[in-house]
Structure 1
């Protein structure tokens, strides 16, 4: 497991005292979202239990799973269970085989557990967390609860008449909310904002739809953050959760033309989230156009919005081509770096580190792929500049 913001997590097994099972995250449901939430929470370093209340998960065809870290985690266990080499494609799996793989995974994991065929008859607040009563003498206590179905069964515990499900939004560049994304839905231009996942006036509970792996993974990382840091979900740290999800290969911006396996995927994701380079929306899908050349007017204002010093540089450089030489001049000025040293560094990294297919040429107008890699490394707009809950840059 990558050691990210949960780097200090101790692998503490589920503890049972007097028929009370204690965990960090409890997920209710047997859907795509429930599975992804439980897997991501455990991958992020906390104990997670999924209470399916049925005889297993209803996940559909594995071959249609989205490309992300949850899928990779499942694929690793599937290959081990089916004794398949990495070079052999995983075949179509029926309901029984898929659930047998998950059971083996659950049985052998210290952090990931699945309880099938066990319904709860009551769920209630327990301190800052939750308690689900399975029988009169047996219950599960959790710090954070994720609900993927039958939300009506917990309304009495919340003391409210209804519970609003987390809703996605369509990327709209006239607003900045897309910068608060914690999950892009593949093959769409839709995303989930962290602030649409959090429930006003209700702590340590997340309510998501059943269908989406991506939203499930986002909810799992958010719940894990709260459990690990022993904090309220309302105090979730956007950048840390985004960083965790990117580390586990969840596309926060659902670019149709830049896949997870792309060597520049992470840089393009980070720059895409900032809006310094904006995508095109066609037929309800989001296209980054990584091989298209960068134009002066498309980056001028966004970079000025992120950096005070960029305003001076652009005032001194009017309508110039965004070639490699001018880009190095800009990042060196804004980032307080030596121009010649930066040229030398980038030349060394051009093909070896960045994996660019083009030749290093100072007069070359940069593609959006090349510009993203350089801006991400030398100015780090995603990493060092914070935004508020509306996506507005905070400087």
Structure 2
């Protein structure tokens, strides 16, 4: 997705006092999920409005009971709000309950927050949505993300029940984990599938739990994808959305022992999503065990599932150690690469690029960390191999 990489210094912010505000993504809600969704939508490069029913963000109030990660997020969000406020040249009038609601946004900003403003109606508008603030003021959006009570939405859709996105326990008996767009640590080793986020038969609408901070970025990136490419949420591109979230350091697989600051975090996340290396699940938590030696039996079938040529290689190499030399043989056979060139390249990258603590040794049995990094770089199963809605590999 295109990201905002620069600012036009010569643009004078233009304040809009309009009957109808237009945006790509509209997020409604006052909880953690709404803030997280709107911030990711903005970072993914589309115009976003967050509509809350509370006063402006107050760090003193949100700091209570929040994790360091959540608090750090709110600090970044508030910084963006302050920067936006400074860009508005026109003075803001004090709110007056007796006067009609006045909505002010800056058209040069990708993210605008409208605080403490109720809405009276939600309805379809073409392929998008219109949310009425007053009789003559409304917001029109391509994509709606609701992290609030769904009563008005259900009335608009003429339905009696609407369930918010639900995460699933990590379970290797099925392949749905390969479609993960969020890890939900607050519920143990859980993940959210993109296809549990999308609502059947309801285009350009996402409904997420108000308090599920971890799910917010997934909703924001999915909404931004549909808005940016002017497409429907039902045909969201799983790999593009997963890649977008990973580029912003959002964890997709709930590994307790692999933190974002780990130098190999991205490679382990990608290989974890493929299932080529699976986590150990203990007491509702998932452990990747990065320093444990990788075994022949755990990688044989998963790699064969991903690559036809791997079936021949494993048939010719029965029950061998997964040391560096044999792994190089595997990736060179499957990926049509030069063995000697690969050895030379790996030796140069071993400690400098990959930050491995071990020495380069062709006879060394690889750890799961080392194997994940090498397979990710030289075979790229996450990037180059697609899966269907159930997580089944498409070859």
The answer to whether the superposition gives a TM-score over 0.5 is yes
Q: Which residue of 1 aligns with 2:260?
A: 260
CA-CA distance at 1:103 after TM superposition: 3.5
CA-CA distance at 1:55 after TM superposition: 1.4
Task: Decide whether aligned partners of structure 1 residues 66 and 308 sit closer, same or farther in structure 2, where only a CA change above 3 A counts.
Answer: farther
CA-CA distance at 1:9 after TM superposition: 9.3
Alignment of 1:1-395 (within 5 A): 5-7=1-3, 16=16, 18-57=18-57, 60-61=62-63, 64-65=66-67, 67=69, 74-76=74-76, 101=79, 103-107=81-85, 108=87, 110-186=109-185, 188-395=188-395
CA-CA distance at 1:6 after TM superposition: 2.0
What TM-score, normalized to structure 2? 0.88
* Higher alpha-carbon deviation: 244-253 or 150-159: 150-159
What TM-score, normalized to structure 1? 0.88
Cα distance in 2 for residues equivalent to 1:375 and 1:209: 36
Task: Decide whether aligned partners of structure 1 residues 327 and 76 sit closer, same or farther in structure 2, where only a CA change above 3 A counts.
Answer: same
Task: Decide whether aligned partners of structure 1 residues 48 and 65 sit closer, same or farther in structure 2, where only a CA change above 3 A counts.
Answer: farther
Q: Deviations over 1:212-237 (max 9, x none)?
A: 22100100000000000111100100
Q: Deviations over 1:260-308 (max 9, x none)?
A: 0000000000000000000011111110000000000000000000000
Larger radius of gyration: 2
* Higher alpha-carbon deviation: 209-218 or 373-382: 209-218
Cα distance in 2 for residues equivalent to 1:48 and 1:111: 6
Could you list the runs of 5+ residues in structure 2 that have no partner in the other structure? 88-107
Task: Decide whether aligned partners of structure 1 residues 387 and 15 sit closer, same or farther in structure 2, where only a CA change above 3 A counts.
Answer: farther
CA contact (8 A) 1:48 1:112 kept: yes
Q: Deviations over 1:114-156 (max 9, x none)?
A: 1111111111111111111111121111110011111011112
Cα distance in 2 for residues equivalent to 1:157 and 1:11: 39
Equivalenced residues, count = 367
CA-CA distance at 1:359 after TM superposition: 0.3
Q: Which residue of 2 aligns with 1:96?
A: none
SS in 1 for 2:354: coil
SS in 2 for 1:142: strand
RMSD: 2.2
Cα distance in 2 for residues equivalent to 1:164 and 1:155: 11
